[in-house]
């Protein structure tokens, strides 16, 4: 017998609560149309009468959710059948350990390019599990740039090379993947699917969802099958890429809502025109903020060097810490939140991921011009 259920709150006529511009580095802004779609699917997905968070992870409804997420991910990134797509738990931070557990054999060395906080943490975790060589670090210049290939000093025949493509805290990015000649692994957590990505150049790509792909709690893995086949044997199943791949990310109950939401974000990006269209849109948004910095007559200073500025995280300072605090407080009064820089860097950080609206960048740029005029 079908139960008569009360109408969900989404049918009520009261106005929605106000949303402000969220410049947070993560968890971060999500596409509003995806949020509204999720609200419906939390109540009942695919006319099943059961919400997405209540469905069995082995039922036909979630089968479809997972299949569509994988198919859309392949379509977005041009990911061929020679790669597996996994949705795992533990976020990007667990990958810092899981990667060397699987791919750093005894007697071999892994090379790490250290360009910021998360790349540094990845190297530190790997050192607990095997031999690590720091092939490059920008720490002496406070992580203000990513390396040219001529700056990198690889070890002899490393098992793999690891880098972070976009550095959230310092606002830098690689314009192109480094030339390694061995399996290349990349943490793309803060820029995944914000621009085209050369999947074929990489053995493993990973991205925590909460910056550009969805809610916290799930990490996207794109891994080349022949590379995965060389993983160590005998690891705990949940820490083994081959074991997780063999079970289609469902060795145990996966983060079903996070996977669903990420799949909806993939569909949203496809509707925007794909990765080339997202790159154009993101470059235009970032240019608004960088232009306000560059035209300020030195009032604002970027943390990053110009040749490697991030389109996702714009980091900058005013002439003093006192003015930085005033900037953040005044911006918040104008509905711009999350602009405080990371504690080790200070200043401001505007995180403007895929779903962040251009209107927020316009408002921030206008505010920056006005603030510099008043206090410069």
What tens digit of pLDDT does each residue of 148-196 get? 999 999 999 999 999 999 999 999 999 999 999 999 999 999 999 999 9
How far apart CA 82 and CA 242 sit, in angstroms, is 14
Given 272, 288, 305, the domain boundary residue is 272
Asked if residue 319 and residue 245 are part of one domain, the reply reads no
Asked if residue 168 and residue 70 are part of one domain, the reply reads yes
How far apart CA 315 and CA 341 sit, in angstroms, is 7
348 pLDDT more than 90: yes
Residue 360 lies in a domain: yes
Residue 10 lies in a domain: no
Given 257, 272, 287, the domain boundary residue is 272
6 pLDDT more than 90: no
pLDDT digits (tens, 9 = 90+) for 42-96: 999 999 999 999 999 999 999 999 999 999 999 999 999 999 999 999 999 999 9
Asked if residue 235 and residue 205 are part of one domain, the reply reads yes
SS3 136: strand
Q: Which residues of 12-43 are buried (b: 16+ CB within 10 A; e: fewer)?
A: eeeeeeeeebbbbbbebbbbeebeebbeebbb
pLDDT digits (tens, 9 = 90+) for 280-302: 999 999 999 999 999 999 999 99
How far apart CA 184 and CA 111 sit, in angstroms, is 10
Residue 333 lies in a domain: yes
What is the domain-level CATH number for residue 144?
3.40.640.10
pLDDT digits (tens, 9 = 90+) for 190-243: 999 999 999 999 999 999 999 999 999 999 999 999 999 999 999 999 999 999
Q: How many domains does the chain have?
A: 2
Asked if residue 279 and residue 145 are part of one domain, the reply reads no
Asked if residue 108 and residue 257 are part of one domain, the reply reads yes
pLDDT digits (tens, 9 = 90+) for 130-146: 999 999 999 999 999 99
Mention every residue, 6+ apart, whose C-beta is less than 8 A from residue 60. Answer: none
How far apart CA 275 and CA 281 sit, in angstroms, is 10
Asked if residue 180 and residue 326 are part of one domain, the reply reads no
Residue 197 lies in a domain: yes
Q: What is the pLDDT of residue 15?
A: 61
Pairing of strands 172-173, 166-167: antiparallel
Range of the domain at 353: 275-375
Contact, 89 vs 218, CB < 8 A? Answer: yes
Query: Is the overall model pTM greater than 0.85, yes or no?
Result: yes
Residue 83 lies in a domain: yes
Residue count of the chain: 376
102 pLDDT more than 90: yes
Q: Which residue has the tokens 């957590």?
A: 189
Q: What angle do CA 188, 190, 193 make, to 5 degrees?
A: 65
Question: Residue 349 — very low, low, confident or very high, per pLDDT cuts 50/70/90?
Answer: very high
Window from 3-12, 247-256, 327-336 with minimum mean pLDDT: 3-12
Residue 232 lies in a domain: yes
Asked if residue 335 and residue 300 are part of one domain, the reply reads yes
Asked if residue 175 and residue 145 are part of one domain, the reply reads yes
Closest alpha carbon to 73 in 253, 229, 206: 206
How far apart CA 57 and CA 64 sit, in angstroms, is 10
The DSSP string of 186-234 is EE-TTTTTSS---GGG-SEEEEETTTTTSSSS-EEEEEEHHHHTTSPSS
How many C-beta atoms lie closer than 10 Å to residue 368's C-beta? 25
Q: What is the pLDDT of residue 1?
A: 44
Given 207, 238, 272, the domain boundary residue is 272
How far apart CA 221 and CA 137 sit, in angstroms, is 25
Residue 230 lies in a domain: yes
Asked if residue 151 and residue 212 are part of one domain, the reply reads yes
pLDDT digits (tens, 9 = 90+) for 17-39: 889 999 999 999 999 999 999 99
305 pLDDT more than 50: yes
Asked if residue 148 and residue 111 are part of one domain, the reply reads yes
Residue 193 lies in a domain: yes
Asked if residue 287 and residue 185 are part of one domain, the reply reads no
> Rounded to the nearest 10 degrees, how much is the dihedral formed by the CA atoms of 81, 86, 91, 94?
-90
What is the domain-level CATH number for residue 288?
3.90.1150.10
Asked if residue 261 and residue 336 are part of one domain, the reply reads no
CA distances from 312 to 21, 67, 139, 161, 299 (A): 15, 29, 21, 24, 22
Question: Residue 8 — very low, low, confident or very high, per pLDDT cuts 50/70/90?
Answer: low
Q: Which residues are marked as active site?
A: 118, 187, 211
SS3 123: helix
């Amino acid at each position: 017998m079908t139960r008569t259920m009360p109408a969900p709150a989404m049918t009520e006529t009261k106005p929605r609560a106000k949303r402000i511009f969220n410049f947070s580095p993560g968890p971060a802004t999500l596409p509003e149309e995806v949020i509204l779609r999720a609200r419906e699917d939390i109540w009942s997905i695919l006319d099943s009468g059961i919400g997405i968070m209540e469905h069995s992870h082995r039922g036909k409804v979630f089968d479809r959710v997972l299949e569509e997420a994988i198919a859309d991910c392949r379509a977005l990134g041009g990911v061929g059948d020679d790669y597996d797509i996994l949705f795992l738990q533990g976020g990007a931070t667990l990958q810092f350990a899981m990667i060397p557990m699987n791919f750093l054999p005894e007697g071999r060395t892994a090379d790490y390019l250290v360009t910021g906080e998360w790349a540094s943490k990845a190297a530190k975790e790997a050192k607990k599990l095997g031999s690590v060589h720091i092939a490059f670090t920008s720490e002496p210049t406070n992580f203000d740039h990513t390396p040219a290939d001529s700056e990198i000093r690889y070890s002899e025949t490393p098992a793999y090379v690891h880098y972070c493509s976009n550095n959230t805290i310092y606002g830098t990015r690689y314009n192109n993947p480094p030339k390694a000649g061995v399996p290349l692994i990349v943490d793309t957590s803060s820029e995944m699917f914000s621009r085209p990505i050369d999947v074929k150049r990489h053995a493993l790509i990973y991205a925590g969802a909460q910056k550009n792909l969805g809610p916290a709690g799930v990490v996207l893995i794109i891994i080349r099958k022949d590379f995965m086949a060389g993983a160590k044997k005998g690891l705990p199943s949940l820490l083994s890429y081959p074991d997780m791949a063999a079970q289609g990310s469902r060795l145990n109950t996966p983060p079903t809502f996070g996977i669903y939401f990420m799949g909806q974000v993939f569909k949203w990006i496809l509707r925007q025109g794909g990765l080339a269209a997202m790159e154009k849109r993101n470059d235009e948004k970032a240019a608004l903020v960088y232009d306000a910095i560059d035209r300020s007559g030195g009032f604002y200073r970027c943390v990053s060097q110009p040749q490697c500025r991030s389109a996702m995280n714009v980091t900058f300072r005013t002439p003093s810490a006192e003015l930085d605090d005033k900037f953040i407080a005044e911006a918040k009064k104008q509905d711009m939140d999350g602009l405080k820089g990371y504690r080790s860097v200070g200043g401001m950080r505007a995180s403007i991921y895929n779903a962040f609206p251009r209107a927020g960048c316009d408002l921030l740029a206008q505010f920056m011009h006005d603030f510099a005029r008043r206090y410069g």
